[in-house]
Amino acid sequence: MKLLARTACLCLALALTWADSPEDHASAAPDRCVEGFELDAATVNEEGIPYFFQGDYLFKGFHGNADLANETFPELDEHHHLGHVDAAFRMHYEDNPDHDHLFLFLDHTVFSYYQHKLEDGFPKNISEVFPGIPDHLDAAVECPKPECDEDSVIFLKGNKIYQYHVATKAVNEKEFSSMPNCTAAFRFMEHYYCFHGHMFSKFDPTTGDVHGRYPKEARVYFTRCSKFSEESDHVERERCSRVHLDAITSDNAGNMYAFRGHHFISKDEGNDTLKADTIENAFKELHSEVDAVFSYEDHLYMIKDDQVFLYKVGEPHTHLDGYPKPVKEELGIEGPIDAAFVCEDHHIAHLIKGQKIYSVELKASPRVASNERTISLFKKVDAAMCDSKGVKVFVGNHFYHFESTMVFVAGRALPEQHRVSLELFGCDH
User: According to the model, what pLDDT value does residue 5 have?
Assistant: 42
Phi, psi for 101 (deg, rounded to 5): -125, 150
**Judgement on whether residues 260 and 138 belong to the same structural domain of the protein:** no
E strands within 2-138?
A: 41-44, 50-54, 57-60, 67-68, 87-93, 96-106, 109-114, 117-118, 124-125
Q: pLDDT tens digit string along 21-36?
A: 444 444 478 888 777 7
Number of H helices and E strands in the chain, helices first, is 11, 34
Would 7 be classed as within a structural domain? no
Q: pLDDT tens digit string along 373-413?
A: 999 999 999 999 998 889 999 999 999 999 999 999 998 89
**Judgement on whether residues 131 and 112 belong to the same structural domain of the protein:** yes
Q: pLDDT tens digit string along 288-313?
A: 789 999 999 989 999 999 999 999 98
Q: How confident is the model at residue 189 (pLDDT cuts 50, 70, 90)?
A: confident
Q: How confident is the model at residue 17 (pLDDT cuts 50, 70, 90)?
A: very low
Average pLDDT for 147-169: 93
Q: Is 1 a residue whose pLDDT tops 70?
A: no
Among 142-146, 250-254, 275-279, top mean pLDDT goes to 142-146
Average pLDDT for 125-135: 96
Q: Are 187 and 141 in contact (CB under 8 A)?
A: yes
User: According to the model, what pLDDT value does residue 371 have?
Assistant: 95
Residue-wise over 79-94: b if at least 16 C-beta within 10 A, else e?
Answer: eeebebbbbbbbbbbe
**Judgement on whether residues 173 and 298 belong to the same structural domain of the protein:** no
How far is residue 266's CA from residue 300's CA, in Å, rounded to a whole number?
13
User: According to the model, what pLDDT value does residue 188 have?
Assistant: 84
Q: Which of 54-58, 203-207, 252-256, 295-299 has the lowest mean pLDDT?
A: 252-256
Question: Among 232, 252, 272, where does a domain finish?
Answer: 232
How far is residue 208's CA from residue 214's CA, in Å, rounded to a whole number?
13
Q: Which of 132-136, 217-221, 225-229 has the lowest mean pLDDT?
A: 225-229
Q: Are strands 87-93 and 191-196 parallel, antiparallel or unpaired?
A: unpaired
156: enclosing H helix or E strand: strand 152-157
**Judgement on whether residues 123 and 223 belong to the same structural domain of the protein:** yes
Q: Is 6 a residue whose pLDDT tops 50?
A: no
**Judgement on whether residues 156 and 206 belong to the same structural domain of the protein:** yes
User: According to the model, what pLDDT value does residue 20 have?
Assistant: 41
Would 11 be classed as within a structural domain? no
The percentage of the chain sitting over the pLDDT mark of 90, rounded to a whole number, equals 51
Average pLDDT for 105-127: 93
**Judgement on whether residues 247 and 396 belong to the same structural domain of the protein:** yes
Q: Are strands 96-106 and 87-93 parallel, antiparallel or unpaired?
A: antiparallel
**Judgement on whether residues 70 and 85 belong to the same structural domain of the protein:** yes
How far is residue 190's CA from residue 213's CA, in Å, rounded to a whole number?
18
Q: Within 10 Å of residue 388's Cβ, how many Cβ atoms?
A: 11
> What's 119's DSSP letter?
P
Q: pLDDT tens digit string along 73-101?
A: 998 878 766 678 999 999 887 666 556 79
13 or 140: which carries more pLDDT confidence?
140
How far is residue 99's CA from residue 114's CA, in Å, rounded to a whole number?
9
Q: Which of 46-55, 103-112, 300-309, 351-360 has the lowest mean pLDDT?
A: 46-55
260: enclosing H helix or E strand: strand 256-260
How far is residue 33's CA from residue 174's CA, in Å, rounded to a whole number?
34
CA distance to 43, 121, 129, 143, 163, per residue, from 96 (Å): 19, 22, 17, 13, 18
User: According to the model, what pLDDT value does residue 270 have?
Assistant: 60
Q: How confident is the model at residue 348 (pLDDT cuts 50, 70, 90)?
A: very high
**Judgement on whether residues 207 and 252 belong to the same structural domain of the protein:** no
Would 24 be classed as within a structural domain? no
**Judgement on whether residues 210 and 255 belong to the same structural domain of the protein:** no
**Judgement on whether residues 183 and 312 belong to the same structural domain of the protein:** no
SS3 79: coil
Question: Among 184, 208, 232, where does a domain finish?
Answer: 232
Instruction: Using CB atoms within 10 Å of the CB of residue 11, give its burial: 0 to 12 exposed, 13 to 18 middle, 19+ buried.
Output: exposed
> What's 316's DSSP letter?
S
**Judgement on whether residues 364 and 389 belong to the same structural domain of the protein:** yes
Would 62 be classed as within a structural domain? yes
**Judgement on whether residues 261 and 329 belong to the same structural domain of the protein:** yes
Question: Among 232, 248, 280, where does a domain finish?
Answer: 232
Average pLDDT for 181-193: 89
User: According to the model, what pLDDT value does residue 233 have?
Assistant: 58
Would 313 be classed as within a structural domain? yes
Instruction: Using CB atoms within 10 Å of the CB of residue 119, give its burial: 0 to 12 exposed, 13 to 18 middle, 19+ buried.
Output: middle
Q: Which residues contact 420 (CB under 8 A, 6 or more apart)?
A: 244, 245, 394, 397, 398, 399
How far is residue 301's CA from residue 282's CA, in Å, rounded to a whole number?
14
Q: Which of 67-81, 166-180, 197-211 has the lowest mean pLDDT?
A: 67-81
Instruction: Using CB atoms within 10 Å of the CB of residue 97, give its burial: 0 to 12 exposed, 13 to 18 middle, 19+ buried.
Output: exposed
Q: Which residues contact 339 (CB under 8 A, 6 or more apart)?
A: 247, 292, 351, 352, 381, 382, 383, 384, 393, 394
Number of domains into which the chain is organized:
2
> What CATH number is given to the structural domain containing 244?
2.110.10.10
Q: Is 425 a residue whose pLDDT tops 90?
A: no
Q: How confident is the model at residue 363 (pLDDT cuts 50, 70, 90)?
A: very high
249: enclosing H helix or E strand: strand 247-250
Alpha carbon 265 to its chain's center: 16
11 or 304: which carries more pLDDT confidence?
304
Give the ranges where 90-160 is alpha helix by DSSP (H): 126-129
User: According to the model, what pLDDT value does residue 146 have?
Assistant: 86
Q: Are 15 and 158 in contact (CB under 8 A)?
A: no
**Range(s) of the domain holding residue 273:** 236-425
